[in-house]
Chains A and B, each alone.
Chain A
Amino acid sequence: MAEVTMRIWRGDASGGEFAAYTLAQNEGEVVLDVVHRIQATEAPDLACRWNCKAGKCGSCSAEINGKPRLMCMTRMDSLPEGPVTVAPMRTFPIVRDLVTDVSFNFVRAQQVPALLPPPMPEGGYVMFQEDVERGQEFRKCIECFMCQDVCHVIRDHEDNKRHYAGPRFFIRYAELEMHPLDQNDRREYVREEMGLGYCNITKCCTEVCPEHIKITDNAIIPLKERVVDAHYDPIAWLGRAIRRKKKASAADAAVQPTP
């Protein structure tokens, strides 16, 4: 029976190193299966986060042979011959082994100004199919945070976490900005407070997304173009000046609606 060598990062905040485990490779296995077999045999203290084993919970994100991937959706027979390297996500602080502290993302989620619909009309809100379909793609996000992990803005520049939300939240902002019932204008907020301008469109977030969301083409670039409308376009400046229309500030957008 064929054997495979897994090089798995073992360690915590005090340091770590790769440990090699050689074991039989069974047909049809995914990386998470092999990690579980290592847990069950050679290394019961190996820490990894997982839940659904079906690519829907977004828990088992790791870097397999250097690329962010879901362990449960990466078939062993899809990997090239030779040892398989499994490391924790690089962007977030390590907790232990393959488990990282992704709380940065939960803080950014708290900072998304909520939907601000108009007062409920008689008969309730109405949304049409074409407007529903537009945001559907963004709601496929399983929050695996691999797009955040691969984004070099925060992966390689820790300081940028101060003023950058990251691709996962840009799809949330895009979804809200494209919502026909939303009356909030987050364009300045996204530019000033969430650092949309730091994104340089290298599309790595799109490449790693397990849900195949076109993060860059359908969320980030449309959001950038909306920011151009609101902030950079001189003809839009002129239009606002003629109509004496005030641009919504970042502070205006950040105010949460009263429940």
Chain B
Amino acid sequence: MTALESSTKVQLGGRKGGPDQPTLRQDRWWVQPVVTVSVLTAFVIYSTWAAFQNANYYVGANAHRDLISPFYSPCIASSCVAGSTHGFVLSGWTLSPALLILIFPLGFRLSCYYYRKAYYRAFWWSPPACAVADGHKSYSGETRFPLIMQNVHRYFFYFGLLFNVMLTYDAVRAFHQPGIGWGVTVGTLVLVVNAVLLWLYSISCHACRHLCGGGVKSFHAHPIRHRIWKALTPLNAHHMNFAWASLIFVALTDVYVRLVASGVLTDYRLF
């Protein structure tokens, strides 16, 4: 006999206690959704604008710098400005190069377990906050298309790692100023901090924690994976902080490169 057959059946219905109102909460539960909607909307508007600009995303040899915006790296379109590519070029693509690559970081963040919490609450009101009524009459969660696709998060994580490698390479390249030599500029530090935050966001990911060791049945039988899992677990506890910090900083990095590339700012050499 199975566990289901031997159990009694779930009884539905019955009058619930308390008044029929969306919530009895008296605190400012709406602050968190408002902040989330504001920041994420601002980021989406800015990143869409930046992606369609197709200009001012690279500071090259003319300015004795090698700085590329993370929104445009790796620059793989034939429309990329000289010096911004990494060797491989997709011929025939004349639109903004950012449109080719942003889908991957976007997919990584959209399917991220932290962002799911944030946008299900803030945008979809499912629920807007704990113990506040769901904004929808029916609910099927992540059991149907399109939300069932959230289960491919680990594949976006793999792509995210490739992007992190490219952005780390960009940060290292930024230490070399063409015509001057090796040194550190404000732009170099901006790209380094951006790469570090993106790595922290990626390796603190829940899928990463599972793939590195969380998926095993016995830690004792897999001591190396257990050690990796133990190292990742404290980072995973800060996944939300890394998610916000890396999101905001990637936009700030684009702003910085854009301002330098357009001549509004000078990228100061520190040493």
Which A residues fall within an 8 A CB radius of B?
9, 11, 13-18, 63, 65-68, 80, 82, 85, 87-94, 97-98, 100-101, 103-104, 107-108, 110-114, 128, 130-131, 134, 150, 152-153, 155-162, 177-180, 182, 193, 195, 197-204, 207-208, 214, 217, 221-222, 224-229, 232-233, 251, 254-256
Contact = CB atoms under 8 A, between A and B. Distances in A.
Nearest to A7: B24
Do most interface residues of chain B lie in helix, strand or loop, or is the interface mixed? Answer: loop
A93 B13 contact: yes
Nearest to A160: B139
Contact of B130 (A93, A114, A177, A207): A207
B172 to A, nearest CB: 31
Given A66-B25, A110-B8, A204-B130, A156 B18 contact: no
28 contacts: A63-B24, A65-B27, A80-B26, A85-B26, A87-B18, A101-B14, A107-B10, A107-B11, A110-B3, A110-B8, A111-B3, A111-B4, A155-B131, A156-B134, A177-B217, A180-B217, A200-B141, A201-B113, A201-B116, A202-B126, A204-B127, A222-B214, A225-B207, A225-B210, A225-B211, A251-B2, A256-B1, A256-B2
B82 to A, nearest CB: 39
A233 B217 CA distance: 18
Contacts of B19: 9, 17-18, 87
Contacts of B253: none
A80 to B, nearest CB: 7
B215 A226 contact: yes
B152 to A, nearest CB: 7
A197 B13 contact: no
Contacts of A104: 10-11
Interface centre among B1, B138, B143 (most CB of A within 10 A): B143
B121 interface: yes
Contact of B15 (A94, A160, A193, A198): A94
Interface residues of B, number: 61
Nearest to A127: B220
B7 A107 contact: yes
A134 B221 CA distance: 14
Contacts of B146: none
A11 B6 contact: no
A94 B131 contact: no
A161 B148 CA distance: 20
B39 to A, nearest CB: 18
Contacts of A85: 24, 26
Contacts of A107: 7-11
A222 B214 CA distance: 7
Contacts of B210: 221-222, 225-226
B10 A152 contact: no
A222 B116 CA distance: 15
